[in-house]
Amino acid sequence: MDRVISLSVGEIALKGKNRSFFENKLISHVKRVLQGLSIGKVYKEQGKIYVEVGEDSINEVINRVKKIFGIYYISPCIRVSKNIGDIKAAVLKIAENIKYKDEVKTFKVKTNRSDKKFPIKSPEFSREMGAVILKNIEGLSVDVNNPDVYVYIDIKQNVYVYTDKIKAYGGLPVGTNGKGLLLLSGGIDSPVAGFLMAKRGVEISAIHFHSYPFTSERAEEKVKNLAKILSSYTGKIRMYSVNIIDIQKEINTKCPEDEMTILSRRFMMRIAERVARENDIDVLITGESLGQVASQTVESISVTNASVNMPILRPLVGMDKVHIIDIAKDIDTYETSILPYDDCCTLFLPKHPVTRPKLKYIERSEENLDVEGLIEKALETMEIYDVE
Ligand code: ATP
Ligand code: MG
């Protein structure tokens, strides 16, 4: 009787010919997060991925693999051969565990016979194993319509017996869907945006704009910590850190006060696009949500967009703030995001920012600036580091 953890892959199962590519990516993530633990083989068997584990590392393995995108359910299983006696023993062992859970009074056995050479059909085998449990374990009865727990028996090359299906995040493995550059501020939204796009398989790098020494080193540290939390889901994240204080000063002296935010946002986009192209990254990602603030009206988004030629993914565009906050709490970025350190956007913040900017006027304002020169100069002092 071996202990294994099974990982259900959900959406990957729909991938047809590309399926192996997705599964292999997932397996490489599993191996990465389990580094340092003593585990056995990690292998595929008919649609699921299995990890051989020792009894005492089960919980740790579950906690670690829970954060890998592409996994829908995690089940601690007992693995046995296709010998009826062994299967019975496994079923009893599993049933014994559930007996001790107070809320569990009823069960149903569900057999999934992928190996059609196995001589007993699924419904019949479920009945037989149900009878074994009834006979040997006190206090449990069968309820076929609404059981408190299911006892699952998957008959494949090996046989797997389990009850728990622990829900994971789902999505697709990071690295199966291109690369994106996340514009990561210290706020609540952008880490959530990065999380959601990584969950769709995008490999994330992050760029942060600051106005040091007008913004503090602690503000930088905060963003680094947010990237670190994100990296616990995605693996290593490359960070690009760009000082835009000179750009802001230039805008402040040469352009209308109420255009400060939209003009600096256009600079951020251009710099991000430049960094992305130089690093083989295909899309930008922001935490913009329609209507949330002045710079996120349809008009502002349109004017921001016009500064670049690269697609910008905005996974939060239609989400309410309360929902975004719920996700931020769930993924553990919220507490860090609300730390009250200065952001570069609060510097020179206009009293009445334009909410319906017109591209024509914004471009006219930019004629007062050496856009290219300012970008080049900001990039010269860009810092690059990895967080993990
Ligand atoms: P967030 O909570 O992500 O800071 P926000 O609600 O404060 O968002 P804005 O300040 O309008 O909204 O920023 C919109 C988006 O622009 C952010 O989600 C982020 O992707 C990007 N952004 C803003 N400021 C920065 C910054 N200093 N560095 C990098 N990206 C930024
Ligand atoms: Mg912000």
One pLDDT digit (tens) per residue for the chain, 388 residues:
899 999 999 887 777 888 899 999 999 999 999 999 989 999 999 999 999 999 999 999 999 999 999 999 999 999 999 999 999 999 999 999 887 777 889 999 999 999 999 999 999 999 999 999 999 998 899 999 999 999 999 999 999 999 999 999 999 999 999 999 999 999 999 999 999 999 999 999 999 999 998 888 899 999 999 999 999 999 999 999 999 999 999 999 999 999 999 999 999 999 999 999 999 999 999 999 998 777 789 999 999 999 999 999 999 999 999 999 999 999 999 999 999 887 776 778 888 889 899 999 999 999 999 999 999 999 999 999 999 9
Angle value at C-alpha 223, between 221 and 224, nearest 5 degrees: 60
- Which residue in the block uniquely carries the two structure tokens 């959406």? 11
Residue of 183, 303, 313 to mutate, ligand 1, most atoms within 8 A of C-beta: 183
Q: Give the orientation angle of helix 58-65 with respect to helix 19-33, to 10 degrees.
A: 120
- Which residue in the block uniquely carries the two structure tokens 């107070």? 102
The whole-number pLDDT of residue 220 equals 92
Distance between Cα 288 and ligand 1 center (Å): 7
The whole-number pLDDT of residue 306 equals 97
Residue of 181, 182, 183, 185 to mutate, ligand 1, most atoms within 8 A of C-beta: 185
Do 10 and 72 meet the contact criterion of CB atoms below 8 Å apart? yes
The whole-number pLDDT of residue 347 equals 73
Candidates 381, 185, 173, 354; CA nearest to 285 is 185
How far, in Å, CA of 232 to CA of 365, rounded? Answer: 42
* 286 alpha carbon, closest ligand: 1
The whole-number pLDDT of residue 341 equals 80
Distance between Cα 106 and ligand 1 center (Å): 51
With a 6 A CB cut-off, is 366 part of the ligand 1 pocket?
Answer: no
User: Phi, psi (5° rounding) for residue 169?
Assistant: -80, -20
* 300 alpha carbon, closest ligand: 1
With a 6 A CB cut-off, is 281 part of the ligand 1 pocket?
Answer: no
Distance between Cα 191 and ligand 1 center (Å): 10
How far, in Å, CA of 192 to CA of 203, rounded? Answer: 15
The whole-number pLDDT of residue 350 equals 84
Distance between Cα 62 and ligand 1 center (Å): 34
Do 348 and 248 meet the contact criterion of CB atoms below 8 Å apart? yes
The whole-number pLDDT of residue 11 equals 80
The whole-number pLDDT of residue 224 equals 97
Q: Under the phi-then-psi rule, with left for phi > 0, alpha for psi from -120 to 50, and beta for the rest, what region is 343? A: beta
- Count of beta carbons in the 10 Å neighbourhood of residue 81: 12
- The minimum-distance atom of ligand 1 relative to the CA of 207 is 29
Distance between Cα 70 and ligand 2 center (Å): 29
Distance between Cα 20 and ligand 1 center (Å): 37
With a 6 A CB cut-off, is 234 part of the ligand 1 pocket?
Answer: no
- What's the whole-model pTM score? 0.94
The whole-number pLDDT of residue 92 equals 96
Side chain identity at 195, as an amino acid letter?
Answer: F
Q: Where are the alpha helices (DSSP H) in the chain?
A: 19-33, 58-65, 84-99, 122-136, 189-199, 217-234, 245-254, 260-278, 298-305, 321-330, 334-337, 359-366, 371-380
CA 290 to the chain's CA centroid: 22
In this structure, which residue's CA is closest to atom 21 in ligand 1? Answer: 183
How far, in Å, CA of 172 to CA of 284, rounded? Answer: 19
With a 6 A CB cut-off, is 23 part of the ligand 1 pocket?
Answer: no
How far, in Å, CA of 345 to CA of 219, rounded? Answer: 12
List residues bridging with 384 in a β-sheet. Answer: 240
Side chain identity at 315, as an amino acid letter?
Answer: P
The whole-number pLDDT of residue 383 equals 97
- Which residue in the block uniquely carries the two structure tokens 């959601």? 196
How far, in Å, CA of 330 to CA of 339, rounded? Answer: 17
- The minimum-distance atom of ligand 1 relative to the CA of 296 is 11
How far, in Å, CA of 301 to CA of 287, rounded? Answer: 12
Q: Give per-residue pLDDT as tens, 282-340.
A: 999 999 999 877 778 999 999 999 999 999 999 999 999 999 999 999 999 999 999 98
With a 6 A CB cut-off, is 354 part of the ligand 1 pocket?
Answer: no
Cα distances from 85 to residues 1, 163, 286, in angstroms, run 11, 19, 57
Q: How many C-alpha atoms does 18 have within 13 Å on its Cβ side?
A: 11
Q: Show the tokens assigned to 324.
A: 């975004």
Q: Show the tokens assigned to 112.
A: 């999934």
* 345 alpha carbon, closest ligand: 1
Distance between Cα 287 and ligand 1 center (Å): 6
Q: Give per-residue pLDDT as tens, 223-275.
A: 999 999 999 999 999 999 999 999 999 999 999 999 999 999 999 999 999 99
Buried b (16+ CB within 10 A) or exposed e, 275-297: bbeeeebebbbbbbbeebebbbb
Domain architecture of the chain: domains with CATH: 2-169 (3.30.2130.30), 179-387 (3.40.50.620)
